[in-house]
Structures are given as C-alpha cells and as structure tokens.
Amino acid sequence: MLKVDGLDVAYGRILAVSEVDLEIADGEVVALLGPSGCGKSTLLRAIAGLERPTTGTISWNGTDLAGIPIHRRGFGLVFQDGQLFPHRDVAGNVSFGLRMPATQQPPPTLGGGPVASLSAEGAGNEGRRGGLWITGRGGESLGIAARVDEMLELVGLSGYGGRRVTELSGGEQQRVALARALAPHPRLLLLDEPLSALDRALREQLAIDLARLLRESGSTALVVTHDHDEAFTLADRVAVMRAGRIVQVGKPDEVWRRPVDEATARFLGCDLFLDAHADNGVLNCEFGSAPVPWAPDGPVTAGLRPAALRVGDGPTEVTVTARVHRRDHVRLVVDTGGRRVDAVAGIADAPEVGARVRLVLAPDGVAVLSRRG
Amino acid sequence: MRRLFTLTAVALSVAMTASCSLFGSDAGDGKVVLVTHDSFEYDQAVFDKFKADTGITVEVRKSGDAGALTNQLVLTKASPLGDVAFGVDNTFASRALDEGVFVEYRSPEADKGPQRYAIDDTARLTAIDFGDVCVNVDPAALAAANVPVPASLEDLADPKYKDLLVVEDPATSSPGLAFLLATVSQYGQKDFQNYWARLKANGVKVVSGWEEAYTQEFSGSSGKGKRPLVVSYASSPSAELDDKGKPRTAALLDTCFKQVEYAGVLNGAKNTEGARKVLDLLLSVDFQSKVPEKMYVYPTREGVELPAAWAATPPAANASTLPAPDITANRERWIEQWRAAVRG
Amino acid sequence: MARGRSRLRLPDGTGPAVLGLVPLGFLAVFFLWPVAAIIQRGLGSDGLVRVLGSPDTWSVVLFTVGQAAASTVVAVIAAMPVAFLLARCALPGIAVVRAAILVPFVLPTVVVGLAFRSLMPDGGVLSIVLANAFFNVAVVARTVAGLWSHLDRRAENAARALGASPLRAFTSVTLPALRPAIGSAAAIVFLFCATSFGVVLLLGGARYRTLETEIYLRTVDLLDLSGAAALSLIQITAVVAVLVLAALARRRRETAMALRARTETTRRPRGGEWWVAATAYAVVAALMVPIVALVVRSVSTSDGWGLDGYRALSGTGFRGSLQISGLDAAVNSLRAATDATLLALLLGVSASVVLVSLGRSRAHPGFVDTLDTALMLPLGVSAVTVGFGYLITLDALPGDLRTSAALVPLAQAIVVTPLVIRMILPVLRSVDPRLRQAAGSLGASPWRVWREVDIPLAGRSLIAAAAFGFVVALGEFGATSFLARPDSATLPIVIGRLISRPGELNNQMAYAACTMLMVVTVAVVLLVERLRVRSVGEF
C-alpha cells in the first residue's frame, strides 16, 4: 500500500505540491485529476523517486521510501509519449526491466496469461503485502522471452517483438510502453498522462483497453490525467488536484455528482451555478425540478453541465442563438432573457437558430454542491 | 552494441595496462640517458658493443632541432633530462655554457682531433662532428644554360647567376642561419647587409625551410626544381649519386660555414661516471667512423676513414667561422638586419 | 530554494561526479600545470609589457585571426555541399567519400605544405588559407552531416508545401536547424587554423607570422620565454573568447532533438540537388589534388616510374637514414594512435558524462559552461608551450615521465579528448531525461542507465569520434616529434625525417610512406565505420 503523508515539493520558492495526503490500496487504481500546472505530475514524479520532497513522507507498506532511488522502488513508469528505447526493438524494450538485477522487487504477481489474471489478482496482493522483497526473479532467458510474449499478448501486440519501435504508431508505442512497465511486475504502476498524446478515437479505445488491462493484471496504479473521462474510465478512485493541493478524493461518480467546490465543479464541466433546493431527492431550481438522488435535503448549489438542460417539455422558454453539431447530440447556446446558457438537443429534433424552445432539467448533467457562503 | 561495449571495455583495460607498463622506469647504474636533437642517428651495433664492454645501456632521447635541444637543456638545468647531451652546435653553444648546463670533462680521446674545435679551454663541451653549410650546385643544369660553375659568394651576386639561387630564411632554418653567418664572416658586420641587397637584386629566392629549398626548388635533387644553386650541406652531394655512383651535384667550398656539434656531461647528471664513458664512446673510432654515413657530417677525430663517395667532397679547407659568443650575442640583430635587406 | 541545495547531492549523479575527477585530474596534470608553469616562468620579467606594446605583436595577432577566419569561411563553404552529400544522398561510394575526406588530417604538414607550394608557387596568404581549409573541410562536413542526417525531412517538405523554393526551404528551415552544428564545427576549425603551425611556417616563412609560429620561434630558437609567455596569454585569451562564442552557438543545438533514422532521411538526389551533389564531388576532387600529387611523387623516379620508395619502406632509408623501418613506424603509429584514442575516449566520455550529469542536476549553468570551455582549451594552446611546460613540471612526478615514451599517447590524447567531447556531448545532451527515468523505473541503476541507454544512443557518435580521434592521433606531429624516442617514431615523424634528408630514395620513401599513411587511414576509418552498421541499430 502506498501512503503519501503531508508531502510538499518545492521548485525554488514555488510550492508545486503542498500538504498532500494520499493512499493507494493494493490493487486499486487511483486517478490524479487536475488542470495542467496543478502539480499532479510533480506528485507522481515524487512518488516515482524523481523529485525530492521538501517535507513529508512517501512510504510503501509502512517503509519510508525517502532514501530509496527510483531503480529500487519497483514502480513502473509510463510517460505520455512512450519514451521507448529507440535503439532496441519491441521485445528489447519489453524485456528491459526483466534483465535488470532483481533487488527489492516483488515476486511475480501475474503467473498465468491474461485470461488467468483475474484469479491471480488475489494471490498477487497476498505477495505484495509482504513489504520490500529481496528475491531473485528466477527468470532465465527463456522465462524472459515467455514473459515478453505474454506481455505483448496482453497489450494486443502479439508477434510485434522484432519490430523497430520507430515503425510503430503512437497507440502501438503506448501499448509497448505499458507492456514494458508491466513486465517486471511493478508494485505500483505510475502513468503520466498515458493517453494524451493520442488522437481522440484512439484515446477512448485505449482508455477502455487500459482499464481492462489494469484490472486483469491486478495492478496497483496511479494515473495522472487532465481528462475526466479518462480518469473516470480508468480509476477506482479519483483525486482532484488544484494549485498543488488535493481538494477532493472519492469514487468517480461521487466526485462527478458532488464536487467539493465550485472550482472543482467547473473543472468537471459545470459552467452554470444556480441556487437550488432539494427535497427527498428532488432538486428544484429555476429550470424546473428533477429527481437527483445524490442531493442532500435543504438549500444547495446546483452546478449544471450543458447536458443538464435538454430541449423538451419544461417550464422555461428560451431562444436558440447558436448551434453546433456534435457526435451524438447538438450543442445549443440559448438566451434565457438576458443570460446565455448551454443546452443540448437530440440530433433528430434539433431546433434552428432563432427558434423558441422549452428546456427540461435532466438529472445526468447535474452536480450538487453545498450552498455557497 | 553489447558486443561492442565488451570489446571497448576489454580494449580499454588492455590499453591502460599497456600504458601503465610504459610508466615503469628502469633507472639504474647501468643506464645513461643521452639527450640529443632529432637529427641524431647512430649505428645500434656500436651501442650494443658498448653495452657488452661496459654494461651501460644508452637510452637516446631526441627532442626538436639543435635550438630546441639547447633551450630545453637550459630550461631543465635544475632537473636535467639525462646524463649527457649531444648536438649543441656553435651557434647555440655560448648560451648553454653561460647558463651552466654542462660540467667539465676532459675525455682522453679529446686530443685526437676534437681539440681543434674547442670553444674555450674549460672542456665543458667537446666537439664530436662538424659539417659545412655550403652552396650546392647542379653542374649539369648550369652547363645546359651555358653558365660556368660559380666559386665564391661574390659570384652569386653576379648577374650571370640571376634567379638561380635559393636560400633558407635564417629566422626559421638552421642552414639558413649558417649561411647568413658565412656572409657575416666574409663581408663583416658592416657590409653583409649590402651583399644581401645585391643578392636580392640578383633574384635570390628565400623559402622557409631546407626541405622546400632542397627537395623542391633545387634542380639537382629528386624534386627537379628550377634553381641549380641551393644552400645545403657540404655532404649533400654524397647522397645524390648517378648510375656510376658519382655525385651529380657539388658543394662550393668557398661558400661554407662550419657548424660544429658538441657533446658534454650535464650538470646534475644522475650517472656522471656513465655519462663520461658515453662521451668517450662518441669520440671513439667505432662511433666516429659511422658519423659520415649516419649523420652526413664529418668526424672531428683525425685518421677516421671516410666513405668512398666522400672522397669527392672533402671538408672545406677554409670554411668560415665566427666566435660562439658573438653568434649568441648578435644572432637576433643579424636576422633583423637580414630581414631589412632582403624583405625591404 | 531548498531544492537547489539538496539537488547538489545528486541523487543519481554521484557516481558520474566522482568519475569526472579522472579527466579533470588528467587535464590538470598533463595540461594546465605545464602550461601555467611555463607561462609563469616567462611572466617574471618585462615581457608582457614589451610584447603588448609592440605594434609587431598586434599585426601578428591580426594576421592570425584574419587567416584563421578566412580559412574557416572557406572550409565551411566547401564543406556544406559535402555535408549534404553525406547526410541526404543515397549514392554508391558515400562511405569512401566519408573516409577519404579525413585523409588530409593524417598527412604531415610539411608534406602538405610542400604539395601546396608546388601547386601554387606564389600562393602567399591564399595558399595558407587554402591549405588550412584543406585540412579542415572534413571537420565541418562530418559534424554538420552528423546533425543533418538526423533532421526530419518533413520540416523542409512543409516549407516546400507552403510555396518555398528548394533554396528558400534550405535557408529558412534547414540552415537555421544546422546553424548550431555549423557554429560548433566552425569554432573548432577556427581553433585548428589559428594554431596551425607547420603549414604556416612552411608557406608563410618569416613573412606571414602567426601567434603559433611566433611562440614557437621565440621559445625554440630565441628562448625568449617572456615574449612567448605574453604571446601565449594573448593566444589563450583569444581562444577562450572563441570558445565562449561557440558555447553560445551550441546552446541551442544541444536541446533535446527528435532524431530520425539516417535511412529515413537519405534518398537519391532529385532535380537541383544533383547540382549540389556535383559541387560536393568537385570539392572532394579538389581535396584529392594535393593527395594525388603526393602519390604521383611516390612513384616518380629519376628515370620514369617505379616503386623503389615502396620497396624501401621495409628498410631504414638511404644509408640507414632511420633508426627503424617504415613498416615498424607504421606499427608504432597504429599502436600509439590506438592507445591515444582509447585514452581519449575514456577521458572524453567520462568528461561528457560529468558535464551532462551536472547539467541535469541543474548545477550552476555558469559552472558547467566554464568546465566545458576549460576542457576545450588544449585545442587552442601551442604544442610547444605544452611541450616545454612538460620539461619543467613532469620531473616532479614519480618515474620522470619527461623521458618516457608513454608521453606520446598521453600528449596525443590531450589533443583528441576535446574532439571526442565535442562529438559525444551533444548527443548525450539530446537524450530525453524521461527516457533515462523510464529505464530507472525498470530497475536500472544510474550506472546501468548510462550503459544501457545513453552510451548506446551515443554509439554512432562514439564510433565516429573514435575514428576521427584515431585519425587525428595518427597524424599528430607537433607533440609527437617533441616526445617520441627514435625507436618509437611514428610515420609522420619518419616522413618528416626522410624528407629532411638528401637523396632520391629518401624522398621517394617519404612519399611512399605518406601514401601508406593515407591507405591505413582510409582502411581504419572504413573498418570502424562499418562496425557501426553491424552493431548499432540505426535509429
């Protein structure tokens, strides 16, 4: 288990990470979510052993990692742009960690192939709890080759072993980087914006693959990302970071539905904040009411995402001032009488600019915050 | 790559061991370091025999020309580079003596000819060989141009020999300096500039080194240049032989300057006794008889047999000389005056 | 602010920092100390004032800088098409061109000087400039080609797509990208030309004097140590100025760069590119003119053609002009150059590792730059200054190295090390730190990261540096002639010896030895560069 306690990391006089506490349980995937420059990469680098904390501790199963350099931590690292070794082929990259001396590394957690991996998870966790392991990997070159094949199969690149890494597409490179990081059974996998360099369609597909893979391999992982879709797809828990601090930690839907403050809500897509009142799971506001079970009774602030307001049969009548076609809906800007807000409509019945339409409150796009002030 | 790495590692360690082995010093009573210039050549057999006779190994350390050698000896007089030095010539001897580089040693062999070239009576330097720097001539080329072979320095200023002479710059070349000294000796400090002005008017070509003058400009060498007159050594013709083994070129014996090379025991030598024996060796018949062949100079010892080809080129009877202290005192000024006369 | 201090403890750089003591110590003992000692000895008297006050001094300085600048310009202009040929063109015989342009480097200056003299009898300054450029075209061509071959063609293509002519695309896209390499190579060439000795002495005589020849003559002929020391100080000041300028030019280059495989960037020339390639071949042909002249002389005899000179190589010259045979000298040459190259690689790589580690640990950049500049100094200090410095310092070391043959490879390594650093450092600096971090996260210790990541990535440059360094060591004349013992004479020394002797056979043998030196050079360079293809992946 990783435990970060009261961590500060400073660059000169600038505090990049401030008073961070974070725990990652074995087998858990935590996403560190925040806008760029919020300090999330610095936190990841500090955990990896690449930055020296100013104060605070980082420990693994109770052992302080302060004096332990990166290569003895047994943490896997995946960068945004792969950083594959250009002078080695795909297999050479994946086998790299397997050839390194196995000091203080955990024993294999992934005995069988990916199919067996779900059942292997428990055993792996068992092993990890033993603290810092000082064992030989026991992998002879045959074992290494088998492990490389296994990893390539896991990331869907079977048979790619002999390819030059410069010949791979961006997505393939990231898969190899992942296979390389996973091969030596890291105790913790650190992923720094692993998908941001890819184009969107690939990113979404790979996010799903990555989520499956992390679970199948039973990995404990910390994913740094600025993309909440990615965070919610991958993570068991999300830690939202802003200006060097972790402002909220929770399960993805908790964070999504109950952001801790307005800035967090804005970061998570809310751009309209209204005073509202909740009664028995029903939220009432100027755009009407809707069942919002996660709203606590009493006065609250509702944070609305564009999807919270749909063209339909609601109480408010507005004028459409702009429309943009999106992949599966139409995004509208509507005038509510002096105020412009975002709303959505279905593709089939999207109104023209200038049309008068009614809006209905849709619970999916609603975040609930404690009342301001 | 891996293989290369291993290869490099192995090579590196080999190289380091090799280098380390070179650091070892085999100092001992049986070794004498002979410091000399880079024109010093010798017959290994003579040194081998010497070792067999005396148990002394002579280690030769060459560095630079005669000037560099002298100045190195001066610089290192507090911690000399060796035990005995050879190759300080009469143009540099005074500086070395003034600086106290050498200690007195009167070799029992020194009165068998070398005494004729002694600088002073302190016996700190002993003459080993001498060579004359003379104008060399290519008689065939002159004959082809219907010009007689010149005889004297004065002839060289004659319009008959316009554009035929090539000399070395005395500032950068040791034969060049010797030839300048020959003109100073013959025309005196007052008139030598005037002589050079006449040479200049007569189309003398000045190049920076002997190599260029002799191998490239001179018509009598393999370079087949355009000028049949060149400043070189009295011994050079003995290396330019025709099919019958006769020299194709000749030295003009009335244009010569005598360069004498000396040896001496170094002040502060580790092995003074050995150094003295090596000096004796340099004066021995064994070594002296190889001097012509190896270094193209004449032995100072009398009665040493010369190679057959040398019979045609005897030492110049009346080669010019100047007192060594005068040379040391004035060389820089004479070179400046020469430059003013020739470069204008 | 705590960061700045704590990082000095170098979490992953402690090893390399210790390693750095090796080259620094070596440099201090075998370079700084001797040079400082000889200069200090000269400064005691009024030399500095006398020399600085003399207008003669300043005309020498002016000529030194002027001829070096002109030679550098000529070398750069001549080298650019050759660099294009080496970097961008897939044509047969490129490997031979790569090797052949290095040949001038090994030729003894006296031989090249004679060749230029016979080709341009009244050349004067022009012949000095051309001869210096002749020696140095390879430096520019190979350095620039090294970078050019890794530049992504797509930037040029983008410029072309935006309507730029090929020339415009070159001047607006490629040239700026190459500028750091050109600047860096030009700085080295400038140093080589400013301190070029043999050629200037032979072609310039006492008329065209440079600081280097003046220092030599004052030291060796006049023992005017105070004058020489003053001139040395001027020379060192000028050299440092050039190095600082070069460091500024380099700074941009040595940022991380996306390197492409050479195979991705070469192709057969098209259209106007043929003109450039043709110009390159013309330059190479021009470089070969003095070389061919040498070969011709080696087979010329008084009665036509013959191989007497070559046959004589197994002997010791006409009436034993040499202490050892020509072939022995060749073996000596190879041996000394190999020792020097390996030593220089060891020193150069460890110095580069230290410079890179210090840079990464965000040590004070001024300190890193100063160190970098100091390591270049041996290129700009007269060999005779160092040689005379040895005489008055090295006797303090055990075993009196002054008379040891080991000094030859040591002195050669001093000259080669800066070149190795200049070739390795840019590549090591361009390695993305995250690549190293990735390796670290996979369990590689800092040493292992160097071994598995940095060094292999620098492999190509390492081998190029080895080849180049070897060639420079092979041709080194100044220091070697000063230090070599008669039985350890190298080929350039033997050639110098033979050519300063009368007799046709000696002359032919000298030129035959030159030819042998050239053949050995090309063979070694081809061999070393072939190693690269086999054992290092193209990337």
Residues 286-345 of C with CB under 8 A from A: none
Q: What pLDDT score was predicted for residue C252?
A: 54
pLDDT band for position C2 (cuts 50, 70, 90): very low
Residue with tokens 């000259």: C415
The region, left, alpha or beta by phi > 0 then psi within -120 to 50, assigned to residue C65 is alpha
Nearest residue on chain C to A10, judged by CA atoms? C3
A71 vs A103: CA distance, rounded Å? 9
Which candidate from B41, B75, B339 shows the least CB-CB separation from C206? B339
pLDDT band for position B155 (cuts 50, 70, 90): very high
Query: What number is the average pLDDT over the span C438-454?
Result: 88
Task: Decide if C119 contacts C290 (C-beta within 8 A).
Answer: yes
Q: Facing residues of B259 across strands?
A: B131
Give contacts of C395 with chain B, Cβ < 8 Å: 76, 79
Give contacts of C536 with chain A, Cβ < 8 Å: 87
pLDDT band for position B29 (cuts 50, 70, 90): low
Q: Where are the beta strands (DSSP E) in C263-334?
A: 300-301, 304-305
CA of C150, closest CA in chain B: separation in Å? 20
Residue with tokens 């935006």: C162
Q: Please give, one letter per residue, the 3-state secondary structure of C333-400.
A: HHHHHHHHHHHHHHHHHHHHHHHHHHHHCCCCHHHHHHHHHHHHHHHHCCHHHHHHHHHHHHHHCCCC
Q: Over 50: is that where the pLDDT of A134 sits? A: no
Residues 241-280 of C with CB under 8 A from A: 259, 261
Cβ distance B64 to C481 less than 8 Å, yes or no, reads yes
Q: What pLDDT score was predicted for residue C15?
A: 57
Q: Give the residue extent of every domain in chain B.
A: 28-130+259-309, 132-258+315-342
Give contacts of B196 with chain C, Cβ < 8 Å: none
Nearest residue on chain B to C494, judged by CA atoms? B38
Q: Over 90: is that where the pLDDT of A223 sits? A: yes
Give contacts of C201 with chain B, Cβ < 8 Å: 172, 208-209
Q: What pLDDT score was predicted for residue A19?
A: 92
- % pLDDT > 90, chain C: 9
B254 vs B152: CA distance, rounded Å? 5
pLDDT band for position C225 (cuts 50, 70, 90): confident
Q: Over 90: is that where the pLDDT of C10 sits? A: no
Which candidate from C12, C261, C441 shows the least CB-CB separation from A77? C441
Q: Over 60: is that where the pLDDT of C142 sits? A: yes
Q: What pLDDT score was predicted for residue C134?
A: 92
Q: Over 50: is that where the pLDDT of A108 sits? A: no
Q: How far is CA B34 from CA B84, C367, C437, in A?
A: 5, 46, 59
Please give the DSSP secondary-structure letter assigned to residue C401.
G
Cβ distance C388 to B19 less than 8 Å, yes or no, reads no
Q: What pLDDT score was predicted for residue B114?
A: 92
Please give the residue that has the higher pLDDT: either C252 or C368: C368
pLDDT band for position C282 (cuts 50, 70, 90): very high
C233 Cβ under 8 Å from any chain A Cβ = no
CA of B67, closest CA in chain C: separation in Å? 5
Q: How far is CA A189 from CA A78, A222, A236, C191, in A?
A: 8, 6, 14, 51
A166 Cβ under 8 Å from any chain C Cβ = yes
Please give the DSSP secondary-structure letter assigned to residue A104.
T
Among the residue ranges A80-94, A302-316, B175-189, C494-508, the one predicted with the least confidence is C494-508
Q: State the chains in contact with A (3 or more Cβ–Cβ pairs under 8 Å).
A: C
A120 vs A110: CA distance, rounded Å? 6
B65 vs B39: CA distance, rounded Å? 7
Cβ distance B293 to C320 less than 8 Å, yes or no, reads yes
pLDDT band for position C319 (cuts 50, 70, 90): low
Residues 215-244 of C with CB under 8 A from B: 217, 219-223, 225
Q: What pLDDT score was predicted for residue A94?
A: 93
CA of C289, closest CA in chain A: separation in Å? 40
Which candidate from C321, C343, C395 shows the least CB-CB separation from B19? C343
pLDDT band for position C410 (cuts 50, 70, 90): confident
Give contacts of C11 with chain A, Cβ < 8 Å: 49, 52, 69
Q: Over 80: is that where the pLDDT of C375 sits? A: yes
The region, left, alpha or beta by phi > 0 then psi within -120 to 50, assigned to residue B328 is alpha
pLDDT in tens, C35-54: 888 888 777 667 677 888 88
Specify the CATH class of C2-532 in words.
mainly alpha
pLDDT band for position B138 (cuts 50, 70, 90): very high
Give contacts of A87 with chain C, Cβ < 8 Å: 456-457, 459, 536-537, 539
Check if B28-130+259-309 and B132-258+315-342 are the same fold: yes
CB pairs under 8 A between B and C: 173
Q: Over 50: is that where the pLDDT of A116 sits? A: no
C109 vs C477: CA distance, rounded Å? 8
Report which residue type is found at C499. Answer: I
Cβ distance C3 to A190 less than 8 Å, yes or no, reads no
Q: Over 50: is that where the pLDDT of C340 sits? A: yes
Cβ distance C318 to B63 less than 8 Å, yes or no, reads no
Cβ distance C202 to B215 less than 8 Å, yes or no, reads no
Cβ distance C321 to B41 less than 8 Å, yes or no, reads yes
Q: Over 80: is that where the pLDDT of A177 sits? A: yes
A54 vs C6: CA distance, rounded Å? 9
Report which residue type is found at C117. Answer: R
B287 vs B300: CA distance, rounded Å? 11
CATH number of the structural domain B28-130+259-309: 3.40.190.10
Cβ distance A164 to C537 less than 8 Å, yes or no, reads yes
Tokens in use for B173? 């070349």
Q: What pLDDT score was predicted for residue A111?
A: 36
Q: What pLDDT score was predicted for residue C362?
A: 66
User: How large is the ipTM?
Assistant: 0.79
Give the CATH superfamily of B132-258+315-342: Periplasmic binding protein-like II (3.40.190.10)
Q: What pLDDT score was predicted for residue B10?
A: 45
Q: Facing residues of A60 across strands?
A: A2, A63
Average model confidence (pLDDT) for chain C? 79
**H or E stretch including B331?**
helix B324-343
Cβ distance C223 to B5 less than 8 Å, yes or no, reads no
Closest-CA residue to C518 (of C323, C305, C293, C318): C293
Please give the residue that has the higher pLDDT: either C528 or B53: B53
Query: What number is the average pLDDT over the span C82-102?
Result: 85
Q: What pLDDT score was predicted for residue B20?
A: 38
Q: Over 90: is that where the pLDDT of B281 sits? A: yes
Pairing of strands A245-250, A237-242: antiparallel
Q: Over 90: is that where the pLDDT of A203 sits? A: no
Please give the residue that has the higher pLDDT: either A117 or A351: A351
Nearest residue on chain C to B91, judged by CA atoms? C221
pLDDT band for position C264 (cuts 50, 70, 90): low
- The residues, ordered by sequence, that sit 6+ positions from C284 with a Cβ below 8 Å of its Cβ are C82, C97, C100, C101
Q: Over 70: is that where the pLDDT of A161 sits? A: yes
Closest-CA residue to A89 (of C462, C460, B1): B1
Q: Over 60: is that where the pLDDT of B320 sits? A: yes
Cβ distance A12 to C3 less than 8 Å, yes or no, reads yes
Q: What pLDDT score was predicted for residue C3?
A: 37
Which candidate from C12, C432, C459 shows the least CB-CB separation from A69? C12
Q: Over 60: is that where the pLDDT of A131 sits? A: no
Burial class of A327 by CB neighbour count within 10 A (0 to 12, 13 to 18, 19+): exposed
Q: What pLDDT score was predicted for residue B5?
A: 45
- % pLDDT > 70, chain A: 88
Nearest residue on chain A to C6, judged by CA atoms? A52
Cβ distance B216 to C114 less than 8 Å, yes or no, reads yes
Helix/strand/coil for A257: helix
- % pLDDT > 90, chain A: 47
Cβ distance C203 to B240 less than 8 Å, yes or no, reads no
Give contacts of C441 with chain A, Cβ < 8 Å: 48, 70-71, 73, 75-77, 181, 186, 190
Global pTM value: 0.76
Please give the residue that has the higher pLDDT: either C419 or B223: C419
pLDDT band for position A180 (cuts 50, 70, 90): very high
C535 Cβ under 8 Å from any chain B Cβ = yes
Give contacts of A166 with chain C, Cβ < 8 Å: 261, 539
Please give the residue that has the higher pLDDT: either C339 or C318: C339
Q: Over 80: is that where the pLDDT of C248 sits? A: no
Q: What pLDDT score was predicted for residue C16?
A: 56
Closest-CA residue to C422 (of C121, C100, C181, C128): C181
pLDDT band for position C537 (cuts 50, 70, 90): very low
Burial class of B98 by CB neighbour count within 10 A (0 to 12, 13 to 18, 19+): exposed
- The residues, ordered by sequence, that sit 6+ positions from A348 with a Cβ below 8 Å of its Cβ are none
Q: What pLDDT score was predicted for residue B271?
A: 92
Q: What pLDDT score was predicted for residue C206?
A: 67
Q: What pLDDT score was predicted for residue A133?
A: 33
- The residues, ordered by sequence, that sit 6+ positions from B308 with a Cβ below 8 Å of its Cβ are B245
Q: Give the residue extent of every domain in chain C.
A: 2-532
Residues B205/B209/B215/B216 CA torsion (nearest 10 deg): -40
Q: What pLDDT score was predicted for residue B198?
A: 95
Q: What pLDDT score was predicted for residue B292?
A: 86
Query: What number is the average pLDDT over the span C188-198?
Result: 85
**H or E stretch including B51?**
helix B44-54
Q: What pLDDT score was predicted for residue B236?
A: 87
Query: What number is the average pLDDT over the span A91-103?
Result: 85
Among the residue ranges A225-229, B336-340, C35-39, C321-325, the one predicted with the least confidence is C321-325
Which candidate from A10, A83, A103 shows the least CB-CB separation from C3? A10
Give contacts of A177 with chain C, Cβ < 8 Å: 438
Q: Over 70: is that where the pLDDT of A84 sits? A: yes
Q: What pLDDT score was predicted for residue C21?
A: 75
Give contacts of B343 with chain C, Cβ < 8 Å: 206-207
Burial class of A31 by CB neighbour count within 10 A (0 to 12, 13 to 18, 19+): buried
Cβ distance B75 to C392 less than 8 Å, yes or no, reads yes
pLDDT band for position A252 (cuts 50, 70, 90): very high
C455 Cβ under 8 Å from any chain A Cβ = no
pLDDT band for position B9 (cuts 50, 70, 90): very low
CA angle at C497 for the pair C491 and C498, rounded to the nearest 5°: 90
pLDDT in tens, A275-322: 999 999 899 988 888 999 988 899 999 999 999 999 988 888 899 999
